[in-house]
Amino acid sequence: MDYFAGIDIGSTAVKVAVIDEDRQILGSKTAATGALVYKNAQTAFLALLSEIGLNRKNITYLTTTGYGRKLFEDADETISEITANAIGAKQVGKPYGTIRTIINIGGQDSKAISLDEDGNVCNFAMNDRCAAGTGRFLDMAARNLEIKTTDLGDFHYNAEGTPAAVNATCAVFAESEIIGLLGKGHGREEIVKGIHFSIAKRTIRLVKRVGIKELLYFDGGPALNKGLVASLEDELGRRLVIPEFPQVTTAFGAAIIGQEAYQFEKEENEQLASEKKQDSELAESYKSTLDPEFSKTKANSCGTSSCSSC
């Protein structure tokens, strides 16, 4: 059995996925990117391999993607995160139908990717200049509210009052706005809900730049936040496809690249072998029509001089 790995080295988190020849995910792992990017990515990769009972030699093809992809020197191939995200979403989204729009919110950027009916990227828009509307903004807000990023979804659903209006378009101003809202006595739940709606509105402006086409797929770490998912769905007025592991779609897409390269090579070798076999059969039958001695040998070798196949 051959195995393929994809490593997505993002600005905030490293994601690793390992698949088999049938594109089944054997395991995935997420770790902080940190400052020692290569070391942390390598540690996460080897830890996942050990968890699933494999070692480096079992990996036929390793593809890296994400902003730090070129730092991983022993990769067989590097690929842009837009392409890897599209390939991963196409595969993960299959049970739901055809994914035409991907909304990806990462640690420090957000993207909207438009796909054609075959899953090829036809357009994309990206915000990587400003932290507002990204995971970093959510992490900062959670810190200011003294809650965990992973609890933002629950706080959203526990809000009983009107969501607080969070208007700042810049993460730095939003930070002082959040502190101001707390000072005015707004509940943390309502502030969280207000933040989610503000990010949703901002994200939808980005998606409109590529066009909103169903099915819409939402991934990246913040897609684990059910409050943000609900806000996006409310603002869009449409349902989103949320994969089971939204943070690893791009790593999975990168792993598929390796599986495709392997499949292509395998099919090419099979084709070559079959052409070679056909050539030698043809040469043999041609020889037998020209050389009566050759046919005699063949007849003798099968023991029946009257055998028609000889």
Residue 68 as a binder of ligand ADP (CB under 6 A): the answer is no
- Near ligand ADP by CB under 6 A: residue from 41, 87, 138, 230: 138
Name the minimum Å distance from CB 78 to ligand ADP. 15
Rounded Cα gap, residues 208 and 290, in angstroms: 72
SS3 label, residue 67: coil
Name the minimum Å distance from CB 89 to ligand ADP. 13
Range 296-304, long-range pairs (CB < 8 A, 24+ positions): none
- Near ligand ADP by CB under 6 A: residue from 63, 68, 87, 139: 139
- Which CB atom, from 54 or from 156, has the smaller least distance to ligand ADP? 156
Candidates 69-77, 119-127, 135-143, 301-309: pick the segment binding ligand ADP (CB under 6 A).
135-143
Name the minimum Å distance from CB 154 to ligand ADP. 10
Residue 190's contacts (CB-CB under 8 Å, 6 or more residues apart) are 159, 160, 161, 162, 163, 164
Of 254, 198, 205, 191, nearest to 64 (Cα)? 254
Residue 10's contacts (CB-CB under 8 Å, 6 or more residues apart) are 33, 66, 67, 68, 81, 106, 107
Name the minimum Å distance from CB 174 to ligand ADP. 14
Whole-Å CA distances, 77 to 22, 60, 88, 255, 262: 20, 12, 16, 10, 12
Binding mask 226-265 for ligand ADP (x = CB under 6 A): ---------------------x------------------
Of 251, 150, 125, 145, nearest to 188 (Cα)? 145
Do the Cβ atoms of 221 and 15 come closer than 8 Å?
Answer: no
Please give the radius of gyration of the chain, using alpha carbons only, rounded to the nearest integer: 27
Residue 150 as a binder of ligand ADP (CB under 6 A): the answer is yes
Binding mask 160-199 for ligand ADP (x = CB under 6 A): ----------------------------------------
Letter string b/e over residues 202-213, b meaning 16 or more CB atoms within 10 A of that residue's CB: bbbebbeebebb
- Which CB atom, from 148 or from 276, has the smaller least distance to ligand ADP? 148
Binding mask 79-118 for ligand ADP (x = CB under 6 A): ---------------------------xxx----------
- Near ligand ADP by CB under 6 A: residue from 149, 158, 288, 295: 149
- Which CB atom, from 152 or from 166, has the smaller least distance to ligand ADP? 152
What part of residues 195-224 is at the interface with ligand ADP (CB under 6 A)?
Answer: 220-222, 224
Task: State the sign of the Cα–Cα–Cα–Cα dihedral 262, 263, 264, 265.
Answer: positive
SS3 label, residue 38: helix
Residue 12 as a binder of ligand ADP (CB under 6 A): the answer is yes
* Helical segments of 62-130, H only: 81-93
Name the minimum Å distance from CB 15 to ligand ADP. 6
Chain residues in the site for ligand ADP (CB under 6 A): 10-13, 66, 106-108, 135-136, 138-139, 149-150, 152, 220-222, 224-225, 247
